[in-house]
Amino acid sequence: MTIASPLLDFSDLPRFSEIRAKHVTPAITRLLEENRAVVKQLCDDQTAVSWENFVEPLENATERLGRAWSIVGHLNGVADTPELRAAYNENQPAITEFWTELGQNLVLFEKYKALAAQTGFETLPIARKTIIQHAIRDFRLSGAELPEDKQQRYAEIQEKSAMLTTRFSENVLDATNDYRLLIDNIEQLKGLPEDVIQAAKAAAEKDNLAGYKFTLHFPSYFPLLQYADNRDIRATIYRANATKASELGAKPEWDNTAIISEILQLRKEEAQLLGYQNFAEVSLVSKMAESPVQVASFLEDLAKKARPFAEKDLQELRQFAAQELGIEKLEAWDVAYASEKLREQRYAFSEQEVKQYFPEHQVINGLFSVIQTLFAVDIKPDQAGTWHPDVKFYRIEKEGQLVGQFYLDLYARNGKRGGAWMDDARGRRLTAHGIQTPVAYLVCNFTEPAIVDGIAKSAYFTHDEVITLFHEFGHGLHHMLTKVDDLSVSGISGVEWDAVELPSQFMENFCWEWDVLQQMTAHAYTGETLPRALFDKMIAAKNFQSGLQTLRQVEFALFDMRLHGDFEPLGNQTVQQMLDAVRAQVSVFIAPDFNRLQHSFSHIFAGGYAAGYYSYKWAEVLSADAYAAFEEHGKKDGSTLSRSAGAQFQKEVLEVGGSRPALDSFKAFRGREPSIDALLRHSGMTV
């Protein structure tokens, strides 16, 4: 029997083709009522608390609500419409209110504490013990122990913060979608690859415009910065991107300045309500890192190690730009262009040349081959309703049994937020009917296939885009290959935020292996695989400007940590001044005064990375060291595609999900504490 509302059908996969904005409010209202009824029943139950009569029914109810709201949030991110946005914004306060009141429910809190105090607690499976311990921690972080008046204020903060982060994200998306740079003279596009020009022409024709249309979606604007000989056009697109959603942007209603200030004030107040000095301390309670001081020390040490290499990178770039390109003063809009020219001269190849070897179908097949080899699984096309015709759907099987499924949404388009991400559509858990297999969303923003003379050509990916795809698939593997049967620590759930990037960054390394690239390349015109000579040049160029890139990431991470640690939102220093101070400390190339990085820094203001952006570099230490185990096998066997190492990584890292501390999982895999040596070696930052 088909359930009337597609948002209330949890029997299988989401019915994306049927879901409309009108379904959101009735479904969410009903699910909230059901959840509150379950909570009331559990609070009224006077029998001795157990996993079966307390945790399971609560998890059953909240999973239904979580899955429905996840679908709404996902569609809001990949298929934004005014109607859907309105429905999302209408229901978000009610969702936030429910989770806040749940987190502050003292009766539930006491029942979790009673579970932990029972004599049988130590004999529970490790996953269930972890869930109970996490729940007690999260109740405290949700203000369950606060006086009633402070609980109310905490709830107000959560609701306001949710609204502001959504508005922040919407402003960035609207500013991105609104901008267009229309070029009518092809002479102004000298230097651009032909496929970029064709894509810009197709974008203009789509809007019934003459000429060539460029936007602030990454696949559109970045090639201008990287290849356009016309310096004025590079400066124009750079400024547009660097000022979007700011007071210097196109429309004042999209200015995120006041939103940033209010978000920071609310986070500071929340931390102090909970008894912490700042939001950074709150953020780190559930992470591997122990304190903001430890994180800052890690970042500053990394900056110190990278600085000599970054200074050398910049000196070489400035000298090359002046002598070879006639650019006497290197500006921010020249960096990508001059870097690409220097790379071409030094290593005798361009990113565009490499791109010709990475057609979409070959890349996808190569990626799947790596996964199948390492983890002894099969990946096959599958059928499901999707939110856009371009989206594909697949299943993963092991020994003929379904393990997980995933949606693959590769291309940038209007109504889809920028960046790349993995999100869970459904988590693995053991139910009365058997194993509920996990389902993932894998989302990127690559250039869609160009349509020339009415015929769609194959999409071609840059090597960086290939790396991005492997990265997101690493997250997907973490989610889909889990063997944990309890939802709250299954897959990526319950994994410390600063360790969740371990599998994703680990997977990136295979994009630099000769035997892997042989499987995933075929030239656009000849069909030949990537030549060894070009591969050798790519390897030689792998760590090109790695010092500058490392300092850039440290700048972002240290700014984030200081903003949520040292910064006083109502003090005399502005957010821009804080960013300027961080740049002065760690950067060797300072962004222009008009650069407003923070106004579109969605990771920390709308994406869950607040006081957590450092996790990319933190986890990179883990991932590089983990991959070193595969390199050790490669020295013996001739290939890093080691089934035995893959099986061990799968068993100790991927399968255990969040059921134990990430450091324990790493040590179980490597047999020791992590070391930074592999990261420095992989980055070319060793003497």
Those residues whose C-beta lies under 8 Å from the C-beta of residue 370, and which sit 6 or more positions away, are 470, 510, 516, 519, 641
For Cα atoms 20, 25, 29, give the angle at the middle one, nearest 5 degrees: 140
Number of H helices, E strands in the chain: 26, 11
Alpha-carbon distance of 455 to 196, in angstroms, equals: 16
Count of CB atoms situated within 10 Å of the CB of 152: 14
Q: How far apart are CA 557 and CA 532, in angstroms?
A: 37
Pair 273, 148: CB distance under 8 Å:
no
Token code pair at residue 511:
């994009």
Rounded Cα distance between 71 and 67, Å, is: 6
Supply the DSSP string of 470-511, one letter for each residue.
HHHHHHHHHHHS----SGGGSTTTT--TTTTTHHHHHHHGGG
As a whole number of angstroms, the distance between CA 423 and CA 415 comes to 18
CA–CA separation, 567 vs 577, rounded Å? 10
Residue 22: strand, helix, or coil: helix
Helix (H) or strand (E) segment spanning residue 67:
helix 56-78
Residues contacting residue 11 through CB under 8 Å, at least 6 positions apart: 3
Q: What amino acid positions are annotated as catalytic residues?
A: 472
Q: How far is CA 239 from the centre of its chain?
A: 25
Q: What is the DSSP string of 429-463?
A: EEETTEEE--EEEEEEEEPPPPEETTEEPPPB--H
- Residue 378 CA, chain-centre distance (Å), reads 25
Task: Sort strands 429-431 and 434-436 into parallel, antiparallel or unpaired.
Answer: antiparallel
How does DSSP classify residue 401? E
Classify 47 in phi/psi space as left (phi over 0), alpha (psi -120 to 50) or beta: beta
Q: Which residues contact 460 (CB under 8 A, 6 or more apart)?
A: 195, 355, 356, 358, 359, 360, 524
Q: Scanning the structure block, which residue is given the tokens 């994703």?
A: 504
